Structure 1
Amino acid sequence: MRQLGLIAGAAAAVLVGAGAITYATAGDAGTPDAVPSADSADAGFARDMAVHHQQAVEMSYIVRDRTDDEAVRRLAYDIAQTQANQRGMLLGWLDLWELPKVSADPPMTWMGMGDTASGKDGALMPGMATNAEMKRLGSLDGKRAEVFYLQLMTDHHRGGVHMAQGCVRACEVGVEKRLARGMVEAQESEIALMAGMLKERGAAERE
């Protein structure tokens, strides 16, 4: 688990530069006037979604090694690559804005949630898996791993969509708002895909 986290973290670090380039070349976000403040929705979303995405990457690498099912392995690979890339962009923007990647405020304060942001059983943000759930995923194999991953990732995506919609409403940097809109569309599509995959395995998303 630790090794997978290190690999994912290293991959995201490499992509930070790509995020900075994307921001710098965006016509509506490349001026000093567009630089947000540390307590802005733009900065809060970038910080919190980077953390949210990191868990999705780790979860996807775990299940990829716990099953031989090609459909689940392909989905996990796609999610890991997409979210590692997006995480690099988010961290790259924070670097470019010269803003801290960690805040003393509770997660999702930028959405007006603050202390109420924690999910069930101590999850850091809505949709995120708990440490116990991540440990359980790493202990399962085959169909049981597939089903639990699809359930966890469905919850994870729902939380991510909620956060991205918040950015669409409150963020001011154009390129970041566009990224958030793309997250909503892609993750809602994957939620529908995962619902079908769960049904094929005689299961359903969690209540």
Structure 2
Amino acid sequence: MAPDEHGELVDQETPGWSRVLIFGAATLAVLLIGATIGLVLAQAVGDEEQPVPTAGSVDVGFAQDMSVHHLQAVTMANWARDHSTDPAIVQLAFDIASTQTEQVGRMKGWLMLWQQPEEPLGEYMTWMTEPGGHQHGGGPGGDSSGGPMPGMATEQELRKLRSLSGRELDVYFLQLMLRHHQGGTEMAEYGKEHAAVGAVRTLADSILKSQVPEANLMRQLLAKRDAEPLPFP
């Protein structure tokens, strides 16, 4: 607060570095809340005497790979939220970052309780082995977009996103994020159908329920800007 010309107290614009600290603290808080929820839910599963998921299982693989996938979405969304001047883009980016940060917290909480590493030690998506599964089995650069998993942006694409502004930034963010959502859908559907732990299946279903309408919204926002989605295999 600071006095204006009439001697009344008014809010001053928060400095840029302060906004960064505020958003960073908020993100950390959401992540910790998600981790706590994850631990509680996983402990509840343990109370039901279900077996603890092991390395290579659908539950562990889903939590590890989806966390990696989500964290890139959070990175892109945070950038768009902080650099776009379009209220619709800023709101969408905020919603995506908030939702997926909390979900990452849950998955990392489960992995901690299961005594599993936060990221896979080998290739991605090898846990999708049932008929109809992607059977991706690749590390970085393994899919057609050049990312480690379907839909993920390459480093070159992320650099391009950071170089843009105005309408170009908004359009490219929508294109990358829409493709990102499309890439995560297959993992979520597989996790929903094949995970052994009920909380994991519930989370996979929640991801689908949030990302399908978000993807539809992104298509609408692209159309309003006379832009097309990026190709997706």
| Structure (1 or 2) with the larger CA radius of gyration | 2
2:32 to 8, 14, 31: 14
5+ residue gaps, structure 1, are: none
Give the 5 Å matches for 1:1-207. 7=24, 10-11=28-29, 13-15=31-33, 16-25=35-44, 30-112=47-129, 113-116=135-138, 118-207=142-231
Using the TM superposition, give the Cα deviation of residue 30 of structure 1 relative to its aligned residue in structure 2, in angstroms: 3.6
Match of 2:10 in 1: none
- Pairs aligned (count): 202
Q: Indicate the structure with greater helix content.
A: 1
TM-score (structure 1 length as normaliser): 0.89
Once the two structures are overlaid, the 10-residue window that deviates more, 118-127 or 51-60, is: 118-127
Secondary structure (helix, strand or coil) at the match of 2:53 reads: coil
Separation in structure 1 between the aligned mates of residue 115 and residue 30 of structure 2, nearest angstrom: 18
Cα displacement string for residues 144-176 of structure 1 (whole angstroms, at most 9, x for unaligned residues): 011000000010001111110010121110111
Aligned letter for 2:214? E
Q: 1:172 to 1:22 in 2, by over 3 A?
A: same
Using the TM superposition, give the Cα deviation of residue 67 of structure 1 relative to its aligned residue in structure 2, in angstroms: 1.2
The answer to which structure, 1 or 2, has the higher relative contact order (CA under 8 A, 6+ apart) is 1
Using the TM superposition, give the Cα deviation of residue 29 of structure 1 relative to its aligned residue in structure 2, in angstroms: 5.4
Aligned letter for 2:163? S
State the superposition RMSD in angstroms.
2.2
Cα displacement string for residues 121-162 of structure 1 (whole angstroms, at most 9, x for unaligned residues): 530100100011111101100110110000000100011111
Contact 2:191 2:204 survives alignment (8 Å): yes
Q: 1:123 to 1:12 in 2, by over 3 A?
A: farther
Using the TM superposition, give the Cα deviation of residue 65 of structure 1 relative to its aligned residue in structure 2, in angstroms: 2.0
Aligned letter for 2:85? D
Cα displacement string for residues 64-111 of structure 1 (whole angstroms, at most 9, x for unaligned residues): 122110000000000000000000000000111112223322000001
TM-score (structure 2 length as normaliser): 0.80
5+ residue gaps, structure 2, are: 1-19, 130-134
